[in-house]
Amino acid sequence: MEKLSYDAIVLGAGLSGLMAAHEIGKEGFKVAIISKVFPTRSHSSSAEGGIAAYIPENSDPNDNPDYMTYDTVKGGDYLVDQDAAELLSMKSGEIATVMERWGTLFNRQPDGRIAIRYFGGQTYPRTRFVGDKTGMALLHTIYERTSGLDVDFYSEWFALDLVRDQERVKGVVAMEMKSMMPVFFEARAVVMATGGMGMLYRHSTNSYINTGDGYAMALRAGVALKDPEFVQFHPTALYPSDILISEAARGEGAVLINNKGERFMKRYAPNKLDLAPRDIASRSILTEVKEGRGFPGGFVGLDLTHLGPDYIKERLALAYEAAKSFSGIDATVEPIPVRPAQHYYMGGIDVDITGTNHDLRGLFAAGEAACVSVHGANRLGSNSLLETLVFGRETGRTVADYLKSTDKPSSSVENAELEKMLDEAYLFVKSESGVHFGEVQNKLRDVMWEKVGVFREEKGMQEAVKEVKELRQQVTKMYVNDKSKVYNTEFFNALELRNMMDLAIVISSSALNRKESRGAHYRLDYTQRDDENWLKHTISYLRGNTVEIGYKPVKMTKWKPEPRVY
């Protein structure tokens, strides 16, 4: 197998990966970014509303980083590592300023400084934004910046697996999608910036490419995931494309209605009504659908019509446009079809606040792929863009320091070992019969949605674990119909499904294990938060077919757990 040598490899070219690579490259190290898509196609581009930042001299005069940390800690239902949240707040203003200097066209105040707006869960307004396409604007800025540095891009290269020895990471095996040529990328450090995993769920606001590849590669390399049971669901995703419809719509007076035209939130949240928190609204919608009061296809209506066309087009432009372009619905005359959908993954590769993983020397992670943990049991809006950049940079700097103090690995990698990885992947192409990825993938997405979704309970999750195990078994017998040796997406889809399976078994087992409700993890059989027994991180390893679960304490600095009431 051909070999290319670098100091560091960054997997993933979204915001966190590019930021990490920027910091490593800046120090003169040889760094390559490997991504299965061209950088601007990364899922970071889909982020809409903004990036939270406390900028001294340009924030609410009453605000300070402590309020910001408190909001994040409470939003995360106290499963947040408070030192991580403090770092996030402290660095937020600096990172937004850096992005502005590099060219991001943030919306402005009349005096030319960066504008600000309120977001959910914030005591004071601190969200900075570029229209409703903040993620796209930031991603383009950082790609443009990084592409001007001496950094090698391997776009549309699919990473198969991490290469390691007993003690440390040795690199990555990846394949060029166009030529299907495998290459061993040898490196002293690998940064996992591979993003989320929405494709595990039947309904998700995520891109098609979010198949949890990084989590699975880490698991297969013997690395733990932290808090893998925490999956965020958003109540109002557009049917059927699951594009996010902002909570701003309900803030402006839009109401949720069932197939009888009833404003059903009256039953579930008599005071807050349609502005009830995300988890309650999601559960209410699904209850209506389950009890036969949804529309065919399984959605409810988000009705704006009583607001009048002018008001809708002026104040809810994005909701109006999205409904029109992607569902063919004119929101001024009929309700927008919505349903809950998976939105974000709080769990991830276990790293500390420097981005370092302690299971495998030389392995780092940042962004949605990582669990620092800054979001705890539930992420606050506009904190994910912030996390990608702040911890992308922290991680990049850590890697640069690591490279300065670490020699080249002494042992070399046996070619046989690399070929074995390749053979395992090729197994699917060589098979002449079996299931194809589409059948299994659709089943997996159904199981995860039905049994490890918005509502969870013992029996359902036991079934899920069993079913996922069976499906995971089937995947070993998967076959790829397409034998083509160029851009064989069926082959890569099969490898993605293998990744999805390794992650699904860990999520479902860890969810079954946590016997309480906290943040996004809501159990019908344990509806209360249980700080006495469960104020701790889950640490899950995948050992063959077994998920090995341990725990880590939550880092507390100054905020004691209190009831999460808004």
Partner 1 sequence: MQMAEVKQIEGKNVEMNSQPKSSAIKNEEKEIVVKVKRFSPDKGEWWQEYKLKVDRFTQMTEVLRRIKTEQDPSLSYRAACHMAVCGSCGMKINGAPRLACKTLALELTKEYGSDEITLEPMDLYPRVKDLVVDLEDFYQRMYKVKPRLYPSEEVLEGKAEHRLVPEDQRELWKFAQCIWCGLCVSSCPSVRNDPEFLGPAAHAKGYRFLADPRDTITEERMNILVDSSWRCTYCYQCFNVCPRDIEPVTTIKKTRAWSGKMKDKTKVIETGEKHVNAIADTIRKSGKLLEAEVYLRTYGLAQAMSDMLFMLKSGRMKYALIKEVPVKGLNDIEKVMNGGEQ
* Residues annotated catalytic, as ranges: 278
Can you tell me which of 4, 27, 46, 427 binds partner 1, judged by CB under 8 A?
46
Query: Is position 559 an interface residue for partner 1 (rule: CB under 8 A)?
Result: no
Distance in angstroms between the alpha carbons of the first and the last residue of the chain = 57
For partner 1, what does the binding mask look like between residues 504 and 543, x meaning CB under 8 A? ----------------------------------------
Query: Is position 247 an interface residue for partner 1 (rule: CB under 8 A)?
Result: yes
Tell me the number of residues near partner 1 by CB under 8 A: 122
Query: Is position 248 an interface residue for partner 1 (rule: CB under 8 A)?
Result: yes
The smaller minimum CB distance to partner 1, of residues 173 and 341, is found at 341
Q: What is the 3-state secondary structure (H, E, C) of 413-479?
A: CCHHHHHHHHHHHHHHHHCCCCECHHHHHHHHHHHHHHHCCCCECHHHHHHHHHHHHHHHHHHCCEC
Task: Go through the chain and tell me how many residues it has.
Answer: 566
Can you tell me which of 268, 426, 487, 541 binds partner 1, judged by CB under 8 A?
487
Q: Which of residues 317-356 bind partner 1 (CB under 8 A)?
A: 322, 325-329, 333-335, 337, 343-344
Q: In this structure, what token pair is assigned to residue 214?
A: 């990084």
Stretch that binds partner 1, among 467-475, 484-492, 510-518, 525-533 (CB under 8 A): 484-492
**Least distance to partner 1, CB of residue 254, Å:** 9
CB 124, CB 60: distance < 8 Å: yes
**Least distance to partner 1, CB of residue 104, Å:** 9
Can you tell me which of 11, 37, 224, 507 binds partner 1, judged by CB under 8 A?
37
For partner 1, what does the binding mask look like between residues 112 and 151, x meaning CB under 8 A? xx-x-xxxxxx--x----xx-xxxxx--xx--xx-xx---
Closest CA to 46 of 15, 22, 19: 15
The smaller minimum CB distance to partner 1, of residues 208 and 551, is found at 208
Q: Which of residues 52-91 bind partner 1 (CB under 8 A)?
A: none
In angstroms, what CA-CA distances link 475 with 223, 425, 437, 483? 22, 12, 8, 18
The smaller minimum CB distance to partner 1, of residues 327 and 540, is found at 327
Strands 31-35 vs 8-11: parallel, antiparallel or unpaired: parallel
Q: How far apart are CA 342 and CA 345, in angstroms?
A: 8
Q: Which of residues 376-405 bind partner 1 (CB under 8 A)?
A: 381-385
Q: How far apart are CA 448 and CA 201, in angstroms?
A: 6
Q: In this structure, what token pair is assigned to residue 326?
A: 């992607």
Closest CA to 143 of 6, 9, 29, 12: 12
Q: Which residues pair with 173 in a beta bridge?
A: 161, 184
Query: Is position 42 an interface residue for partner 1 (rule: CB under 8 A)?
Result: yes
Closest CA to 79 of 457, 520, 537, 525: 537
Query: Is position 295 an interface residue for partner 1 (rule: CB under 8 A)?
Result: yes
What is the helix (H) or strand (E) element at residue 517, kind and residue range? none
**Least distance to partner 1, CB of residue 231, Å:** 13
Q: Which of residues 251-270 bind partner 1 (CB under 8 A)?
A: 251-253, 255, 257, 259-261, 263
The smaller minimum CB distance to partner 1, of residues 328 and 563, is found at 328
